[in-house]
Amino acid sequence: MRIPFVLAAALIASIGAGGGGAAQTYPQRTVKFILPFGPASGTDITARLVSERLSARWGKPVVIENRPGGDGLVAINAFISANDDHTLLWVPVGTFAVHPFDKEKLPYDADRDLIPVANVSTLFLALSAPTSLGVNTFREFFELVRANPGKYNAAAANGNADFLMSGFLKNNNLDMAKVPYRDIMQGPNDLSENRIQLLSSSLAIVTPLYQAGRIKILAVTGRQRAGSVPDVPTVREAGYPALEMESIGGIFGPRGMPLATREQIAADVRAAVASDPSIATKLQSTGQVVDVRGPMEFAAGIKELQTQLAGIAKVLGLKAAQ
């Protein structure tokens, strides 16, 4: 009778482990986060802050690998090629959500290859102008450009910031020359020198020149004001709700990663962030706000952004790559 009892106990234990064992034992070795931006970017700062706390929580090393370039494709390809559940992608959704509309052919399938694990933060996008232009609100800027077609220049960071700006200009018949940048980090300085008159970018890269009084942040595109620049209105408050866009970002796993594992990672991220209040303060200084969501909530947020971008693509006459 002892043997069947032992076997039965082992069977019950194995069944229990099968329901969530993968999640309970993750990670078993070093975890790597691949990022599409270089060191000191907002995404890099966030990933390093959280990974430090995760490493302490997990008892395993967590490393960051910066793979900038190719509008995010370098990092995405490296992540997919790894095909490893301990190699994760940390990326703002706007970086890849526009790929179907600005790439002729995609080397990956986002729905298949980028599996939502945890949203970590919401990034603020900002619409900025030179202080020397003499406008104090986005409405004043809008009216100035409408009264002077072809006179002013605009620029935007790649991804949803560029899409949002381009769609708005076209939808409102605003004639501005678009200035391309290989490195958008040059944009704020050109803006301050009045070489361009509108910049659509992350809030983080324009904040220093805003604080120096050289540029004017006319509005942020989120649903709430940014804590780092509380006097700057949202686009809805400024009277342009069509420019509202939530720019979310976080962690993705490889195809086939079990939901239980993803939920456990998300729970650990939430606990790691909650354990250190300074993380929220530090993210605020980079134009972000803590916004931890589990895999299902993250997936819903991604879908919402993709739907909004598809609507903008229709305005711009763009079709999704097959």
Q: Given a cut of 50, is residue 92 above it in pLDDT? A: yes
Q: Which residue spans within the chain are E strands per DSSP?
A: 31-35, 62-66, 87-92, 115-123, 125-130, 153-156, 177-178, 198-202, 215-220, 247-253, 288-293
- Report the chain's mean pLDDT, rounded to a whole number: 90
- Output the pLDDT for position 272: 95
Q: Given a cut of 50, is residue 273 above it in pLDDT? A: yes
Q: Given a cut of 50, is residue 110 above it in pLDDT? A: yes
Task: Yes or no: say if 97 and 160 are a contact pair by the CB < 8 Å rule.
Answer: yes
- What one-character-per-residue DSSP string does 39-56 give? TTSHHHHHHHHHHHHHHH
Query: Measured in whole angstroms, how far is the alpha carbon of residue 14 from the centre of its chain?
Result: 39
pLDDT tens digit sequence for 50-59: 999 999 999 9
Which tops the pLDDT comparison, 38 or 301? Answer: 301
Domains belonging to the chain, first-starting first, are: 28-122+247-316 (3.40.190.150), 125-243 (3.40.190.10)
CA distance 193 to 190: 5
CA distance 184 to 119: 24
pTM: 0.84
Q: Given a cut of 80, is residue 184 above it in pLDDT? A: yes
What DSSP designation does 116 have?
E
Q: Given a cut of 60, is residue 8 above it in pLDDT? A: no
Q: Given a cut of 70, is residue 90 above it in pLDDT? A: yes
Query: Among the listed ranges 37-46, 111-120, 246-255, which one has the minimum average pLDDT value?
Result: 37-46
Q: Given a cut of 70, is residue 10 above it in pLDDT? A: no
* Amino acid found at 164: L
* Confidence band, pLDDT 50/70/90 cuts, at residue 5: very low
Q: Given a cut of 60, is residue 87 above it in pLDDT? A: yes
Percent of all residues in the chain with a pLDDT value above 70, rounded to a whole number? 92
Bin 109: left if φ > 0, else alpha if -120 < ψ < 50, else beta.
Answer: beta
- Output the pLDDT for position 63: 98
- What mean pLDDT comes out for the span 276-289? 91
